[in-house]
Amino acid sequence: MNAVHDKDDLLREAADRFGTPLFVYFLDDIAARAQQIKEGFGGRFALSYAVKSNPNPHLLEWLSSRIEFLDISSHGEFLLGSRGGWQANRMSFTGPGKRAFEVEDTLSKGLGELILESPREAALANEVAGKIGRKQDVLVRLAPAVVPKGFGDNMAGRPCAFGIDVEDVERDLPPILALPNLNVVGFHIYSGTQCLRADAIRQNYQIFMETFATVCEAHDVTPEKLTFGSGLGIPYHDSDKPLEFDKVTSGVNEDLDAFKARPRFRSSTLILELGRYLVGEAGFFATRVVSTKHSRGADIAICDGGMNNHLPASGNFGMVVPRNYSMHRVGGGESKAPVNLVGPLCTSIDRLGRGVELPRLDEGDLVAVHNSGAYGPSASPLHFISHPMPREVIVSGGVMKDVTRKLSDLSPLGV
């Protein structure tokens, strides 16, 4: 058995005990990844976990003693983080469409930093902070004009909803700095993600640092915090070459040291904000074959979970070219042949793989889809066609725990 199968016994046990379809998250792998990141950057970065990548409250709770900060993107995620034992002052709040009730409740509960995405939001936050008699720490999110090639998704470098475009900083920043109830403690950039190229990541962080430096000099800000949206990608598909992390750190560490040598940034805390690189590869989606069909020359395996549980694996989550996630038949097997893997939904877009080379699949067989620790259930249309919620299980030191969310848990407001 090779490395692909080294978790098969645990995956099979979890499937038998808790039922399928299910997501299994291996916490020891996340711990190892966190350590790799911290050590790789030699402590230059504090880590901030983007809740939206996997908001399972048990995972959040487990992360609270391992990661410095939590980045939330909604009031609901604020409540999930709070339930996971995170104090409000360790949370930052991003998102381009924050509503008044979200700002009011998070600020009054002591939110660490509001990440301002627009002048409108600055005015709103200033008003709310004034009402509750608080001076609120904020970071201003900046949208660079350029994102290097090599990122799977870009949040800047073109017209976009996120942050203040660098071209507009001169106009928009001074009024924000002048607001009496806000304390601009630094800046935030998250401009691209899912990058597997070390050189592009280094180049992007160079753009961040130049942008931070230019803006801080021009407006005489000595930042306490600067947040770098990581962009670190994971190899979703068999043909993807994993990111050479050592290459990232060797280049970036040199740049960070030069940056930190400038008096203005000497005491700035640098934060790496990330989701998928921390938790993605530690998760598997296990689904059981319900039925098989040979149709007009193609073998089809129909599984008990599909795009309703795992939209990204079905290729419907904004991929430029949908490609099969890496996956394997639990237990292995001889003589691989191409098979189309589909879910249980009555729509032809519900597929988990097309022409996947797998050992022959029969009713009852288990398939494990890799890279499923981030953007799984919470990124999927769980309500569509009213199947049960997928199970979620965490495994740590070989011990399993069912952490399945109820459908009603998904909305922390209970509505």
Q: The dihedral of CA 146, 152, 153, 158: what is its sign?
A: positive
Residue owning tokens 């805390």:
269
> Per CB under 6 A, which region of 74-82, 123-131, 198-206, 268-276 contacts ligand PLP?
268-276
The 230-249 site mask, x for binding ligand PLP (CB under 6 A), equals: x-------------------
How buried is residue 161: exposed, middle or buried, by Cβ count under 10 Å (0-12/13-18/19+)?
A: exposed
Interaction of residue 276 with ligand PLP, rule CB under 6 A: yes
Interaction of residue 277 with ligand PLP, rule CB under 6 A: yes
Residue 49's closest CA among 66, 67, 75, 76?
A: 67
> Per CB under 6 A, which region of 9-17, 272-280, 301-309, 315-323 contacts ligand PLP?
272-280
Interaction of residue 121 with ligand PLP, rule CB under 6 A: no
Interaction of residue 374 with ligand PLP, rule CB under 6 A: yes
Interaction of residue 60 with ligand PLP, rule CB under 6 A: no
CB of 153 to ligand PLP, least distance (A): 8
Residues 131-150 that bind ligand PLP (CB under 6 A): none
CB of 408 to ligand PLP, least distance (A): 25
Amino acid type, 236: Y
Question: Please, which residue, 194 or 372, has the CB nearer to ligand PLP?
Answer: 194
> Per CB under 6 A, which region of 49-57, 199-207, 328-336, 365-373 contacts ligand PLP?
49-57
The 6-45 site mask, x for binding ligand PLP (CB under 6 A), equals: ----------------------------------------
Around 201, how many Cα atoms within 13 Å sit in the side-chain half-sphere?
26
SS (H, E, C) 62-85: HHCCCCCEEEECCHHHHHHHHHCC
Task: State which of residues 29, 71, 350, 365 lies at the interface with ligand PLP (CB under 6 A).
Answer: 71
Ordered alpha helix ranges (H), 193-298: 198-218, 245-260, 276-279
135: left (phi over 0), alpha (psi -120 to 50) or beta: beta
401 sits in which H/E element? strand 399-402
How many residues of this chain interact with ligand PLP, rule: CB under 6 A? 17
Report the C-alpha dihedral over residues 41, 42, 46, 48, rounded to 10 degrees.
40
Residue owning tokens 């790789």:
40
Q: The dihedral of CA 143, 145, 146, 152: what is its sign?
A: positive
Interaction of residue 274 with ligand PLP, rule CB under 6 A: yes
> Per CB under 6 A, which region of 35-43, 189-197, 310-318, 399-407 contacts ligand PLP?
189-197
Question: Please, which residue, 95 or 315, has the CB nearer to ligand PLP?
Answer: 95
Question: What is the C-alpha separation between 21 and 389, in angstroms, rounded?
Answer: 8
Which are the contacts of 174, defined by CB distance < 8 A and separation ≥ 6?
Answer: 219
Interaction of residue 229 with ligand PLP, rule CB under 6 A: yes
Question: What is the C-alpha separation between 394 and 28, in angstroms, rounded?
Answer: 10
CB of 355 to ligand PLP, least distance (A): 27
- Read out DSSP for 116-128? E-SHHHHHHHHHH
Task: State which of residues 52, 197, 328, 405 lies at the interface with ligand PLP (CB under 6 A).
Answer: 52
> Per CB under 6 A, which region of 186-194, 235-243, 304-312, 348-356 contacts ligand PLP?
186-194
Question: What is the C-alpha separation between 410 and 21, in angstroms, rounded?
Answer: 18
Kindly state the DSSP code that residue 133 receives in the 8-state scheme.
T
Task: State which of residues 275, 312, 343, 377 lies at the interface with ligand PLP (CB under 6 A).
Answer: 275
Task: State which of residues 94, 136, 268, 378 lies at the interface with ligand PLP (CB under 6 A).
Answer: 94
Nearest residue to ligand PLP, using CB?
Answer: 275
CB of 350 to ligand PLP, least distance (A): 24
3 state DSSP class of 226: strand
State the residues that interact with ligand PLP by CB under 6 A: 50, 52-53, 71, 73, 94, 190, 193-194, 229-230, 273-277, 374
